[in-house]
Amino acid sequence: MTSTDRPVSARTTRQRRAVSAALVDITGFCSAQEIHEIVKRRGDAVGLSTVYRTLQAMADADEVDVLRTDEGEALYRRCSSGHHHHLVCRDCGRTVEVEGPTVERWADRVAADHGFADVSHTLEIFGRCESCG
């Protein structure tokens, strides 16, 4: 077994292109169902299941970011590669990607101080942007 078993396939289909295209249109985080709506509104017919599957695949491939509402709903948004966090307007959803090397180091150090290994973290900032002021 020299090759790591690839669970993937990544077959290019009309539906996947439609979801990707819809993601380009949005600026903030959207739920799977909202994205399904957007796809429909663009004139592409894609089943809801497929939207869910596609978004999940993209999330696995780090092509979209996922975050959770207070109510537990998953929100998606296309993202730049690499580790980053988000500054999200809680009114209009406008999102700014931010980086914080200081924070990364702080988190790793805190974890190490307590004997924790294999460290990861989640960090999101919420506020109201100027246009929504």
> Does position 74 bind DNA by CB under 7 A?
yes
Strand-strand pairing, 74-78 and 95-98: unpaired
Give the torsion sign (CA, 67, 73, 74, 77).
negative
16's contact among DNA, its own copies, none, with CB below 5 to 8 A by partner kind, is DNA
User: CB-based burial of residue 30 (10 Å sphere; 0-12 exposed, 13-18 middle, 19+ buried)?
Assistant: buried
Residue keyed to tokens 């980086």: 99
Q: Does 110 bind its own copies (CB under 8 A)?
A: yes
Cβ of residue 21: shortest distance to its own copies, in angstroms? 27
Assess 46 for contact with DNA (CB under 7 A). Answer: yes
Query: Which residue of 20, 37, 52, 129 would you call a contact of DNA, by CB under 7 A?
Result: 52
Note the residues at the interface with DNA (CB under 7 A): 9-16, 31-33, 45-50, 52-54, 56, 71-74
